[in-house]
Amino acid sequence: MNFTKSLASKNFFFFNLVLLGAIFGFSLAFLSFSCSTPVSSRTAKAQENPGYSDVVIPEDALRIAEGLQTAFRSVADKVLPSVVEIKTVSIRRQQTPNFNGIPWEFFFGPRDGNGGNQEREYRSQGLGSGIIVRHSSDTYYVLTNNHVVEAANEIVVALNDGKEISAELVGKDERKDLALVSFKSSETLPIAVLGDSDAVRVGDWAIAVGNPLGFMSSVTMGIVSAVGRTGGPGGNINDFIQTDTSINQGNSGGALVNIRGDVIGINTWIASNSSGGSVGLGFAIPINNAKRTIDDFINSGEVSYGWLGVSLAEADKETTEALGLDGKRGALAAQVFLGSPADKGGIQPGDFITHINGREMRGVNPLMLAVGDLKPGEQASFTVFRSGATLEIKVRIEARNNETATENNKLWPGLMAAPINDTIRNAFNLDKNIQGIVAVQIVDKSPASVVGLQRGDRIIGINGETVRNLADFYRLLREKAGKELWFEVVRGENTLETLKYKR
């Protein structure tokens, strides 16, 4: 075999070997591809990175979650620029102790020119939040809580971008725990959109925006837990929105908004344990309670309240049964100020007020708020339930005067009467078989006090006619109006008649 033939045969052998290997490799690749199942990009990544989970998140669920996430981002973008931090300084001055006669002065002389008896200034800082709600030219108005600024001598507003501007108090109101401050700015700043808190329902999204513990521009999220809550510090008259949204010190005065970014409340207080932190019980003043207040502050620096002239009480189970209220919602006009708008209009003690201008009243606090928001001089329609009948009574509202509203001698009849139940029996040591009504409160200097009624008296008659229950009591009060009136009562073991009184 010559060299050329030998080379040719070797080339042929290598060519065939390579060709055979290529065919074999292609066949294996085809078989592997045809027998395998498709995998998602996430699974492929998991296979490439075996340390990752191979759980696949459903795309439809992701779209919903990401859509909600986008909504929350949009709310934050919308609301944050209109929520500010409010920094306050309260200044207190106090005389320093007089060091005359102590060893210091003997050895070193007086510390100052008058023996140490000088006035010293103490400065305490406060922190809260506020909402930009109005502007006029270069003046911007910030709504906040009264307790944030009530004692402040200096107020500074910090905008969302960190810029700080000196502010001044426009007006404040302790009963509603609301205040308004203003500041000047040549910049165009966003104004918060005020929503409709009457449309809020339990289960709605609730998003709090503020500056808890000084952490500026914080956003937390939860739901509306309840509406129409009463109570809280300071005895204010708001019916609060309750939320489980995280609210802490520094959130006071900040915004509670809905999923559209509209303000539905002003974050005001929390119920907490000894830690003082959030436990999911936050409360906000409904924004509808503040809308007219903002106008009052801007126009006059104070809130103008409408005055009806009644003393209100919640109707408990026994009162509801005694007056035949049959599940009606509202508040009991237990007493009426003589000469008040209520008295002039015809509202009488024992009337159960269910509506004002067609709007249902859910209890004492909502009714007080509704009356307070009525304008002096305005004629309002009150729906009352009296002795089994529903009446419409027109009343012309007057401006609230604190002196007139506390003149006890004009409060008729000047006592709170209640049906006897187990609680009252225990409180006044009454036999378990005794029925009727008891005077549970006597107002000092009132007609009831003047005629000699005492707390714990069991009222059994008016002007010689028998009082068996609360309905009899209020009926006889109405029937004897304008006449001399006296009460027959059981006090201890004795039956007594009081002095006579004429309205």
Q: Which residues contact 243 (CB under 8 A, 6 or more apart)?
A: 206, 208, 222, 223, 224, 225, 256, 282, 283, 284
> Tell me, what's the pLDDT at 365?
87
* DSSP E strands, 174-300: 178-184, 205-210, 218-229, 240-243, 255-257, 263-270, 282-286
8 pLDDT above the threshold of 60? no
Length of the chain in terms of residues written: 503
The pLDDT assigned to 111 comes to 56
Residues 421-426 have a mean pLDDT of: 94
User: Half-sphere exposure of 499 toward its Cβ, with a 13 Å CA cutoff?
Assistant: 10
SS3 154: strand
- The CA-CA-CA angle for residues 20, 23, 25, to 5°, reads 110
pLDDT at residue number 114: 56
Catalytic residue, candidates 147, 182, 457, 472: 147
Domain boundaries, the chain: 65-106+117-301, 306-408, 413-502
Residue 289's SS3 state is helix
Q: Sort residue 348 into left (φ over 0), alpha (ψ -120 to 50) or beta.
A: beta
Look up 177 and say whether it is catalytic.
yes
Q: Is 252 a catalytic residue?
A: yes
Amino acid at 230: T
pLDDT surpasses 80 at 405: no
Which of 401, 368, 397, 365 minimizes the C-alpha distance to 381?
397
Mean pLDDT of the chain: 88
The mean pLDDT of 73-99, rounded to a whole number, is 89
357-378 in b/e form (b: 16+ CB < 10 A) is eeeebebbbbbbbbbbbbeeee
Question: What pLDDT, in 10s, does the model give residues 424-450?
Answer: 999 999 999 999 999 999 999 999 999
Does the annotation place 250 within a ligand binding site?
A: yes
Give the Cα separation of 202 and 205 in Å (integer). 9
Asked if the model's pLDDT at residue 2 lies above 50, the reply is: no
Average pLDDT over residues 133-140: 97
Q: Which residue has the tokens 């911007």?
A: 140
Give the closest residue to 428 by CA, choosing from 444, 413, 417.
417
Q: What is the largest CA-CA distance in the chain?
A: 153
Residue 147 among the catalytic residues = yes
Which positions ≥6 away from 179 have C-beta within 8 Å? 143, 144, 145, 146, 148, 149, 150, 169, 170, 171, 172, 173, 297
- Better pLDDT: 56 or 355: 355
What is the pLDDT at residue 52?
74
More confident residue, 67 or 105: 67
pLDDT given for residue 47 in this prediction = 55
Tokens (6 digits) for 85: 């931090």
The reply to whether 306-408 shares the fold of 65-106+117-301 is: no
The mean pLDDT value for 139-155 works out to 97
What does the alpha-carbon distance between residue 76 and residue 78 come to, in Å, rounded to a whole number? 5
**In sequence order, which residues have a C-beta less than 8 Å from that of residue 312 and are 6 or more positions away?**
331, 332, 333, 334, 353, 364, 367, 368
Task: Give the model's confidence band at 97: pLDDT under 50 very low, under 70 low, under 90 confident, else very high.
Answer: low
Q: Is 261 helix (H, G, I), strand (E, B) or coil?
A: coil
- CATH of 413-502 given 1.10.30.50, 3.20.20.140, 2.30.42.10, 3.40.50.450: 2.30.42.10
Q: Is 135 annotated as a binding residue?
A: no
Please report the pLDDT score of residue 141 as a whole number: 99
- Over residues 28-59, the pLDDT tens digits come to 444 444 444 444 444 455 456 666 778 888 99
Question: 3-state DSSP call for residue 141?
Answer: strand
Copy the structure tokens of residue 408.
């006890």
Parallel, antiparallel or unpaired: strands 310-313 and 306-307: unpaired
The active-site residue, picked from 82, 129, 173, 177, is: 177
Query: Do residues 464 and 480 lie in contact, with contact meaning Cβ atoms separated by under 8 Å?
Result: no
Identify the pLDDT of residue 261.
98
Mean pLDDT of 124-147: 97
User: pLDDT tens digit string along 306-351?
Assistant: 999 999 999 999 999 999 998 899 999 999 999 999 999 999 999 9
- pLDDT in the model for residue 3: 35
Span 8-16, mean pLDDT? 43
Nearest alpha-carbon partner for 457 in 497, 422, 412, 408: 497
**448-493 pLDDT, tens per residue?**
999 999 999 999 999 999 999 999 999 999 999 888 999 999 999 9
Rounded Cα–Cα distance for residues 495 and 459 (Å): 10
pLDDT value at 101 more than 70 = no
Tokens in use for 148? 């944030």
Residue 448's pLDDT is: 96
Q: Residue 117 above 80 pLDDT?
A: no
CB-neighbour burial class of residue 202 (10 A; exposed 0-12, middle 13-18, buried 19+): exposed
Query: What is the model's pLDDT at position 340?
Result: 96
Task: Kindly list the distances between the CA atom of residue 316 and the CA atoms of 144, 196, 323, 331, 441, in Å, as whole numbers in the listed order.
Answer: 35, 31, 11, 10, 16
Q: What is the pLDDT of residue 408?
A: 86
Model confidence band, residue 150 (pLDDT cutoffs 50, 70, 90): very high
Residue 25 annotated as lining a ligand binding site:
no
Residue type, 305: Y
CB-side neighbour CA atoms (13 Å) of 106 = 3
Range with lowest mean pLDDT among 234-248, 361-375, 400-414:
400-414
Alpha-carbon distances of 80 from 162, 163, 255, rounded to whole Å: 12, 14, 9
The whole-number pLDDT of residue 272 equals: 85
Q: List, for residues 217-229, the tens digit of each pLDDT value.
A: 999 999 999 999 9
Per-residue buried b or exposed e for 140-176, using 16+ beta carbons within 10 Å of the residue's own CB: bbbbbbbbbbbebeebbbbbbeeeeeebebbbbbebb
Which residue in the list 218, 252, 278, 446 is annotated as catalytic? 252
If you average pLDDT over residues 126-142, what whole number do you get?
97
Q: Which amino acid is at 428?
A: F
Q: Is 340 flagged in the annotation as binding?
A: no
- Three-class DSSP category at 163: coil
What the block records as the tokens of 34 is: 């045809």
Fill in the DSSP letter of residue 249: T
CATH class of 65-106+117-301: mainly beta
Looking at residue 423, its pLDDT comes to 93
Percent of the chain with pLDDT over 70: 85
Q: Are 453 and 489 in contact (CB under 8 A)?
A: yes
Known binding residue 147? Answer is yes
Q: What are the distances in angstroms from CA 120 to CA 117, 124, 126, 227, 419?
A: 9, 13, 20, 47, 58
Q: What pLDDT is recorded for position 255?
A: 98
Spatial separation of the C-alpha atoms in residues 16 and 375, rounded to whole Å: 106
Which pLDDT does position 15 carry in this prediction?
44
- The DSSP result for 345-367, as a single string, is HT--TTEEEEEETTEEP-SHHHH
β-pair partners for 222: 206
CB 421 within 8 A of CB 357: no
Structure tokens at 230: 């009463």
Position 48 scores a pLDDT of 61
Is CATH 2.30.42.10 correct for 306-408? yes
Q: Is the pLDDT of residue 19 over 70?
A: no
